[in-house]
Structure 1
Amino acid sequence: MRTLRTIRHRLALLLALPTGALVVLAATGTAAQAGRYAEAGRTGDRVAVVAGTEDLVRELQRERGLTAGLLGGEEGFRAQLGARRAAADQARQALDRLLAGDPPGAGPVRRALAPLTGLAALRGRADTGTATRTEALAFFTDAVTGLTAAAFTDATGGADPQLAAALATLRSLADATEAAALERGTLNGVLAAGAFRGGDYPAFVRITAVKGAALDRVPRTATAARTGSLDAALRTPAATAVAGMEQQALNGFAAERLPVRAADWWQAASTLVDDLHRVESEAAAEARARAAALRSAALRGLLLDVGLALAAVAGAAALGRLATRSVTRPVAALVAGAEELAEAVLPAAVARAQEGGAAGPTAPTAVGGPAELVALGAALDRVSATAVRLAVEQSALRRNTAESLANLGRRNQALVTRQLGFLSALERGEHDPGVLANLFELDHLATRMRRNAESLLVLVGEVSPRRWELPVGMGDVIRSALGEVEDYRRVVLRQVDEARLDGGAVAEVAHLLAELIENALAASPPDTDVEVWARRGSGGYLVAVVDRGRGMADGELELANARLSGRESFLVGRDGLLGHYVAGRLAARLGARVRLTPSPVNGVTASVLLPEGLLARAEVPV
């Protein structure tokens, strides 16, 4: 594997197994603590949802009792009902704000709140007397029962017995408080009516039985403090009065009129219900405190486990560092020596060889440490000496090759120039049209031969000897380029903006355009034309050569543009496209930008952007 090719990685692999075991153990403990921490946080949020729901339940219970009394015929409750309704609406808004954060258990409570959409309609019928007492009691009781059941859905306390007991106590107190509140509202309506009617008595008996059962369940799970608070709430004068009036109601079930005033019952029963709500709130506070304690303990354990995991990793890293430093330091010295050889010694030796000097000796690599690494350093010194010698030989060979090519190119150029002069003299003295046409063809062929000779000089870095003293129009430069390609009759000049090119750059620009036009003609089918567009712009002079060939793939375009930018040497090319290398050298010398792009329909567009500095300024008439 690639990751095991270094000494550092192999030593790290030796320590990976024990380190991995430590990390896995620490990660397991950390994950368990994180789970307990998250569960404790969710339980605390659930308890907050229970408390917020029970606040709304308490206000609905009070409104239920007053509404039952009003519908039973006691008009004195109407004045109190408005404040109770406002308190219930405020409790509903507070619960909605709590549920907006989407705490655990919010979904069931939201669904349980849905039936309360009919509360406003019930209130209106209660005010007008069109609703019955039974209907109002059933509506509020269903809403309260649904909210309490939804609030305690899945609120079990998890694996902590103390928290589970606190939640069970809270549920029992909620059931007892609801039974006491329902008893208050039911009997309040009965007393307002004067006596039991229809199914009022059986319903009242069932409610008292449910209340007693719920109160009996509380001591089984409650703490001593909560049991004491509940006992105190059941021994108050109000609780004693409630028990007495409750017994009177049970004994006088068949009486025409019960001997209890509705206002007295409401006051005493409300005090008892408030006391039970207080005990319930204390139980909720206990549950929240236990959840917070569990969360704090889980956080401490989580931080401890994370610290142990980090310490294990840090210790393993320190051991690995100590184990590898004794080996990697000498290896680093070898690497530094190799980099100096590649970046400084070899380039300097090549530069001296190109100037005709000697390569010079290489400095030995100083390596300490084990004998094996010392031997490796000596081997590197031998390799560096051999590399320097080979690099110098290659550089000398390239220099000699370039000089030979330049000499050959100059000779060819001189011969072709003489040939062109001789052909020009023959053309001036010849009057036979047939012979003159042949001479023109020979002249054109010789012109192409001269371009090939100059291409050889361009590749080896020679400058064209052809120079013009005065600026030349771009139209003439482009036509001169056409004279250096074979099938120039297929080239169409679509547009040529007026501009004058500096005389010193005319030959090289014409050569550059001829190479691109030659490539476009070779890439196009014989029955198609190659178009040339030349436009003057703010950034320079742009010449575009458009062919209608098969085009080039993305990879081919990338390679061609690399050659045209001068980033690749012609000595490494394998596809024989020397024209791209020649154009790239000429563009770099002129400061021009050459790029191939796909044509809009098919084929390739070669764009040449000549810089503004190559263009002669227009002469201002005197």
Structure 2
Amino acid sequence: MRFRNASVRAKITALIVSLTCLWAFAAWVTLREGANLLWAATVNGSVIDPSEPLLVELQRERRLTLARLGAGASEEDRALRDQRAKTDGLRATFEESASGTVAEFAMDDVLLQRVSEVKAQLTQLAATRKAIDAGRADLSQAAARYNGLIDAFYRMYDSVAEFDDKEVAKDGRTLNDIHRSREMFAREDALLAGVFAKGGFTPAEHAEFVKAAGVFDYTLNEQLPKLPAEDRADFDGWLKSAPVTRVQAMETQLIRHDPATDQLPVSGEEWRRSAEPMLSTMQTVTLAGGDRLLERITPVAVGVIVRLILAGGLGLFAVVASIVLSITTSRQLLAQLRKLRDAAHELSDRRLPSVVERIGHGEEVDVAKEAPALDFGDDEIGQVGQAFNTVQRTAISVAAEQAELRRSIRDILLSLARRTQGLVHRQLTVLDVMERRETDPEELKELFRLDHLAIRMRRNAENLIVLSGSAPARTWRRSVPMVDVVRGALAEVEDYTRVTLMPMGDVVLVGRAVGDVIHLLAELIENAVSFSPPYTNVQVSGQLVANGYVIEIEDRGLGMKPEDLQAANARIADPPEFRITGTARLGLYVVSQLARRHDIQVVLKASPYGGTTVVVLLPQELVQLDPSPEPQDDDGRERLPRRQPGAAAGAAAATATRQVPSGNVRTLRQVRPGPLPADMPGASAPVTDPVRQEAETTTAPPPAPSETPADPEQQPVAEFTPSGLPLRVPQANLAPALRDENPTQPDIEEDDDERSPEEIRAMMGSLQSGTRLGRSRAAEMMDDQPGGEA
């Protein structure tokens, strides 16, 4: 599977490597025989040839040494001294030749070990000579030491690599065995030299002589039938020669000799005159057989060289030609594929995004111009290129259709969101009118709950507007205190009673960012409340910093994994393109869009108390110091203004007003977001949203202030939630005339200048009711006008 997924270059390289390996194997099969010839010639010239004369001289030194020990001479004779000097000269030549770099490279590990053993034995030769000269070694000990040294030479011969030709290898082993049988006769001759020197056998020496003679006869007779015909004829002639026949006769006499008798049947001179020619002629016949073996090897070597030239040379030429052809073909193929790859990247990275962006901006796109045909030739790659031309035309067409479809879907979402937003605004207006008319505390509580749900519906509609790439319709021209901005966000959160609002400072937010900041904070606070246990609180705090204004939202929930925090921060910092499918967390996308619109930084991090802390950094150009800060309570927590009984109308009329053309007066009203949950303290009390301001147009004159509030010391003290929001006191805002179930109408006197307080109260109540009715009618007229839903 890995090779199947490899690149074209890797596959071609693998093909070339496999072809080269195949050629190398075929060449090595032929080259191995040639290498064997070369190494055999190197070993023969560096090791074998220098060792054979040394071996012969060692055999002669052994014979002279045993003869001297047998004669009992105490001083070294001249013949032995000359022999030792000749042996040392050949030893130096052998060691120098066998220690060469070429020779060591030609030898295998076994042969290297055997050569090292021979060198070690030669190093001990000087100690052996000293022991013999000092009389510390007898005849048998001296023979054993020389035999061990010579046996090391024959083990070295046995380790020489054989030739691959079976017949040649068999003849070579036969000649080596015959050469070793010569060593057995040389041991026999050396033993007899000592015996003749001392004049008789000991039983042990006689047994050793019989053993050596038997081994010689056995090995020679065993190997002679294995020789080729020409070599066998030479050895047969050697066996019939006079020295050999005399030696065989004397061996028979000496074998039958009784060691207990004093007289030997053969003299030492008779044995030497026959034994030395026998050893010399046997060496000559053996070397002649080796020369003939080399002559037989020569044609085989020539054939190996010819095969090597044919297989290696022609195969190498074929491999080189294949490599050149593969490289040129792969270059052309890769160039075409690279061109096709670049065209695909250009299509995916530049053309398609450009087409989608231009269509998103409403431009017309010419598919033929955006997808020009590319020429890749007429070969197989060219056919793939033609298919790619078709693919890119289809891709651009589909991209254009998909971009148009996404734009249409966004337009639909925007239209539905605008319609929903308009309906929610009208619903809020109707709810506000009903709240102002309602006097029953229970019914008023339910109306406040509907009011709160409508506010949340409005935020969901605005989410669709943000997702469609547009801006919500809510805008402010005047700056709003930061505490009111956060309260406005709390008004759009379902479980707002769990939010603790800390001091926000005397800071105002510029009007152009109020709506988006409220929306952004509402999404973040809603997320904090939703993903934390219901028994915990969410803390919201703010303060001025060097770079602007920071709002921190901290919950005590389960928190997020580090990789999820990193992904969320990356999503907020660089929001991806919104897609209809695959968007699980729309809140983060809405937050990222709102934050990017005003260059607001939003960062999520782990809270040390458990849960998650959201840091919102508003830039300096969006915040200002409040010239008229709202007073605070003794504990430093900001509170909403306390509501006075009967002051609802006056508070609504006291909001900021401005004149508009045609004599209309556009007033700003405050809408309550809804009640607390029914099972919580103060559930019937509404929460005032100081920043949810909606324009209303009316032709009625500005309402007169409501009646003067009573003494503040006699007013009921308003209670507050843990987050600083006031709890509603039932019937606290009702007119005094409505508090009694059976109000009594005072007698109206004819003198208008002497009206009683009850009459003034009744008149002000009528004025207040008329003002409410006028505002309601004006709101309905404004909703009925074209474009009122926007």
TM-score range, shorter chain: 0.5 to 0.7
Question: How much does 1:178 deviate?
Answer: 1.9
Q: Deviations over 1:225-258 (max 9, x none)?
A: x7799899999xxx98898789778768743993
- Alignment map for 1:144-155 (pairs within 5 Å): 144-145=150-151, 148-149=154-155, 151-152=157-158
1:67 shift after superposition: 3.5
Cα deviation for residue 562 of structure 1 reads 5.9
Q: 1:244 to 1:334 in 2, by over 3 A?
A: closer
Distance 1:277 1:161, change over 3 A: closer
Match for residue 72 of structure 1? 70
Which residue identity is paired with 1:185? Answer: A
Q: 1:389 aligns with which of 395, 400, 412?
A: 400
5 Å matches for 1:65-464?
65-73=63-71, 75-76=76-77, 77-78=80-81, 80-81=83-84, 84=87, 87-88=90-91, 91=94, 103=108, 105-106=110-111, 109=114, 116=121, 122-145=128-151, 148-149=154-155, 151-152=157-158, 157-158=163-164, 160-200=165-205, 203-204=208-209, 207=212, 211=216, 217=223, 220-222=226-228, 224=230, 254-255=263-264, 258-260=267-269, 275=284, 279=288, 282=291, 292-293=301-302, 296=305, 299-300=308-309, 302-303=311-312, 306=315, 341-353=347-359, 356-363=362-369, 365=373, 380=391, 383-384=394-395, 386-390=397-401, 392-393=403-404, 405=466, 414=476, 417-420=479-482, 453=516
1:247-289 deviations in Å (ceiling 9; x for gaps):
7787687439935299989987886687578557747856875
Task: Report the CA distance shift for 1:359/1:33 in structure 2 as closer, same or farther (over 3 A).
Answer: closer
Q: 1:374 to 1:295 in 2, by over 3 A?
A: closer
Structure 2 residue runs of 5 or longer lacking an equivalent are 258-262, 415-462, 487-498, 522-536, 615-790
Query: Which one-letter code corresponds to 1:420 in the other structure?
Result: M
CA separation of 1:271 and 1:455: change in aligned 2, threshold 3 A: farther
More relative contact order in 1 or in 2 (CA 8 Å, sep 6+)? Answer: 1
Q: Residue in 2 aligned with 1:430?
A: none
**Residue 137 of structure 1: CA displacement?**
1.8
Matched residue type, 1:109 = R
Which structure has greater helix proportion?
A: 1
Indicate conservation of the 8 Å contact 1:169/1:283, yes or no: no
Q: How many matched pairs? A: 491
Q: Deviations over 1:486-510 (max 9, x none)?
A: 6478x9xxxxxxxxx9x7xx24xx7
CA contact (8 A) 2:114 2:156 kept: yes
SS in 2 for 1:167: helix
Return the letter of the residue paired with 1:152: D
Tell me the percent identity: 17
Distance 1:108 1:2, change over 3 A: closer
Secondary structure at the counterpart of residue 194 of structure 2: helix
> Aligned AA for 2:66?
A
How far, CA to CA, are the matches of 1:581 and 1:233 in structure 2? 114
Tell me, what secondary structure is at the counterpart of 1:362? helix
> Which residue of structure 1 lines up, in the alignment, with residue 445 of structure 2?
none
How far off its partner does 1:389 sit?
1.9
Classify the secondary structure of the residue corresponding to 2:404. helix
Asked whether the equivalents of residues 360 and 404 of structure 2 are also in contact (C-alpha less than 8 Å), the reply is no
Matched residue type, 2:154:
T
Instruction: Classify 1:303/1:577 alpha carbon distance in 2 versus 1 (closer, same or farther; 3 Å).
Output: farther
Deviation of 1:111 after TM superposition, in Å, equals 10
Query: Using the alignment, how far apart are the partners of 2:589 and 2:374 within structure 1?
Result: 49
SS at match of 2:136: coil
- Alpha-carbon distance between aligned partners in 2 of 1:441 and 1:40, rounded to the nearest angstrom: 98
Aligned pair in 2 of structure 1 residues 53, 573: CA closer, same or farther (>3 Å)? farther
Distance 1:339 1:353, change over 3 A: same
Aligned equivalent of 1:578: 588
**Aligned residue type for 1:349:** V
Determine the C-alpha separation between the residues in 2 that align with 1:271 and 1:218. Answer: 18
Quote the RMSD (CA, aligned, Å): 7.0
| Equivalent pair of 1:350/1:359 in contact (CA under 8 Å) | no
Shift of 1:196: 4.6
Per the alignment, do residues 30 and 114 of structure 1 end up closer, same or farther by CA in structure 2, a change over 3 Å counting? closer
Cα deviation for residue 128 of structure 1 reads 1.6
Matches of 2:200 and 2:96, distance apart in 1: 37
- Cα deviation code 1:574-610 (max 9, x no counterpart): 4568399959x98xx99x9x9999x9xx99999xxxx
Rg: which structure is higher?
2
User: Deviation at 1:161?
Assistant: 3.6
1:133 Cα offset (Å)? 1.6
CA shift, 1:103, in A, is 0.8
CA distance in 1, matches of 2:193, 2:520: 117
Which amino acid is the alignment partner of residue 171 of structure 1?
N
Deviation at 1:359, TM superposition (A): 1.9
AA partner of residue 174 (structure 1)? H
Deviations 1:494-549 (A, max 9, x none): xxxxxxx9x7xx24xx76xx7xx76xx55x768xxxxxxxxxxxxxxxxxxxxxx6
Q: In 2, distance between residues paired with 1:561 and 1:444?
A: 30
Q: Which region of structure 1 is more displaced relative to structure 2, 73-82 or 210-219?
A: 210-219
- CA 1:412–1:91 in structure 2 vs 1: closer, same or farther (change >3 Å)? farther
Decide whether aligned partners of structure 1 residues 259 and 140 sit closer, same or farther in structure 2, where only a CA change above 3 A counts. Answer: closer
Gaps of 5+ in 1: 13-18, 425-436, 459-484, 492-500, 527-548, 607-622
Q: 1:195 to 1:344 in 2, by over 3 A?
A: same
In structure 2, do the counterparts of structure 1 residues 577 and 45 end up closer, same or farther at CA, with 3 Å as the change threshold?
farther
Structure 2 SS opposite 1:190? helix
Equivalent-residue separation in structure 1 for 2:141 and 2:153 (angstroms): 18
Q: 1: CA distance between counterparts of 2:282 and 2:44? A: 18
Spell out the pairing of 1:472-511 with structure 2 (5 A cutoff): 487=539, 506-507=547-548
